[in-house]
Structure 1
Amino acid sequence: MPTPLHALIPTALALGSLAAQAVPVTVQLRGPNGQPLAGAAVAIEIKGRVGKTGTAKAEVGQRDRQFTPQLLIVQTGTAVNFPNFDTVRHHVYSFSPIKVIDIKLYTGTPTEPVVFDKPGVAALGCNIHDRMTAHVVVVDTPVFARTDDKGQATFDLPAGEHAVKAWRPGQKSPMLQSLTLDVPAAGGTRVLTLAD
């Protein structure tokens, strides 16, 4: 027997009010000297949202003897493929604590993707081409972005306090930095400063 329409209305209203609670928030990341941080990873952890995934897929290719993209942000549990689009073979590796990778010399696409099952930052390299470097930033949230040239990323977030994880290429520590974001009911722009 189908559910009566009047029984569905409270559920629809509750879901609608959850969506209405989200407000646009622009997060700007700055360095210790106040400069905007372009190309940094920023992730917002919202209470009650799933931290890990079992279905997400991503890719770090090799083209013109470079990794592309050089900064990939994924949710914990994402399967990442490493296709080689070059005519030369590459050997992808990482000795990072969150994921050790050793994909021997190959062309094409390895048969098995690499599942990034721990949060943190994995530095990638190629044993054949030393100038090839990239990073995979793994976060326990589906809410993440890479900052633009003004160091900004925009999200739709519920008002309140949220945990933030951030990382920028070139920072001294390979660890994700933990910050707090206070989202006002009206949304707006919030500035967060990363340590060096």
Structure 2
Amino acid sequence: MNKHLHPLFAFLLLSTPLHAASLQAELVDNQGQPLANAVLSLRSAVAPVVAPAAAVMDQRSQQFAPTVLAVRSGTSVAFPNSDNIRHHVYSFSLAKRFELRLYQGTPSEPVIFDTPGVVVLGCNIHDWMVGYIYVTDDPWFAVSDEQGRLSLEQLPPGAYTVSLWHPQTPDMVPQAAGQLQLTEAGSQQRYTLTTQAPANQAAPSAPASAFGDAFKKARDAAQ
């Protein structure tokens, strides 16, 4: 490499694939309706080295934001409270048990999610608040938007195994979605997930059992 290259430019050359592909995906439910808050993840025979990351699960308008957060194992997640009232965040999930006692603002220490699995979040003050953190060892993943769409960029061309997940999948277990062969031209795919509830049901608006039902599904799936 030219010794006169700027160090930052040299780093970009080394870290960016010379030939990269992209995946544009549309996720739908059993009825063919767009499926928001669904996770698509990819793994391949050759996995890249990924540095520890950071993410944010906010609390706004007495809801978790986003409803579904997907992270790589080892990610540290901050839990700011953007409401003008206190929240008390906790999880009993096997993948990560923790508690952030009654607080406003942002706790000083983020929570590290180091075990793959589904983490169901609740608020000890507001029973209707339910959020999900999907922790995966797969190096590539994304969450679908309100139109059921997601995009993954800068993928090395090659063969991938596809997994899908949504809070309303049976037993809250990821679904295998077969193999995907990516070329430099990229790919557009449509995936259907089997769900047990209306596709775009967001965090429930007020039933007191919302967290309990979500947690029970995650607990049963892990056994």
Same fold (TM over 0.5): yes
Quick check: 109-118 or 148-157, which moved more? 148-157
* Secondary structure of 1:32's aligned partner: coil
1:152/1:50 CA distance change after superposition, 3 Å: same
Q: Identify which of 76, 81, 86 aligns with 1:79.
A: 76
Superposed, which structure 2 residues align to 1:146-185 within 5 Å?
Answer: 146-156=143-153, 157-185=155-183
Identity of paired residues, percent?
Answer: 40
**CA distance, structure 2, for counterparts of residue 52 and residue 24 of structure 1:** 18
Q: CA deviation at 1:96?
A: 1.3
Q: Any conservation in 2 of the 1:97–1:122 contact (CA below 8 Å)?
A: yes
| Structure 1 consecutive aligned stretches of length 4 or more whose deviation exceeds 4 Å | 2-5, 15-18
1:31/1:67 CA distance change after superposition, 3 Å: same
**CA distance, structure 2, for counterparts of residue 61 and residue 75 of structure 1:** 18
Q: Identify which of 81, 96, 100 aligns with 2:93.
A: 96
Q: CA deviation at 1:58?
A: 1.0
1:39/1:140 CA distance change after superposition, 3 Å: same
Superposed, which structure 2 residues align to 1:57-136 within 5 Å?
Answer: 57-136=54-133
* Secondary structure of 1:19's aligned partner: coil
* Higher alpha-carbon Rg: 1
Letter in 1 for 2:26: Q
Q: Counterpart in 1 of 2:47?
A: 49
Q: Which runs of 5+ in 2 are unaligned?
A: 5-13, 196-223
Deviations 1:69-94 (A, max 9, x none): 21111111100111122232211111
Q: Any conservation in 2 of the 1:121–1:176 contact (CA below 8 Å)?
A: no
1:51/1:73 CA distance change after superposition, 3 Å: farther
TM-score computed with the length of structure 2 as normaliser: 0.71
Q: Identify which of 37, 44, 49 aligns with 2:35.
A: 37
Q: Any conservation in 2 of the 1:159–1:182 contact (CA below 8 Å)?
A: no
Q: CA deviation at 1:124?
A: 0.5
Q: Any conservation in 2 of the 1:41–1:167 contact (CA below 8 Å)?
A: yes
Q: Counterpart in 1 of 2:191?
A: 192
Q: Which runs of 5+ in 1 are unaligned?
A: 6-14
**CA distance, structure 2, for counterparts of residue 65 and residue 17 of structure 1:** 40
* Secondary structure of 1:35's aligned partner: coil
Q: Any conservation in 2 of the 1:41–1:146 contact (CA below 8 Å)?
A: yes
Quick check: 36-45 or 94-103, which moved more? 36-45
Q: CA deviation at 1:165?
A: 2.6
**CA distance, structure 2, for counterparts of residue 16 and residue 125 of structure 1:** 38
**CA distance, structure 2, for counterparts of residue 112 and residue 18 of structure 1:** 34
Q: CA deviation at 1:51?
A: 6.8
Q: Counterpart in 1 of 2:9?
A: none
Superposed, which structure 2 residues align to 1:1-16 within 5 Å?
Answer: none
Q: Any conservation in 2 of the 1:139–1:165 contact (CA below 8 Å)?
A: no
* Secondary structure of 2:18's aligned partner: helix
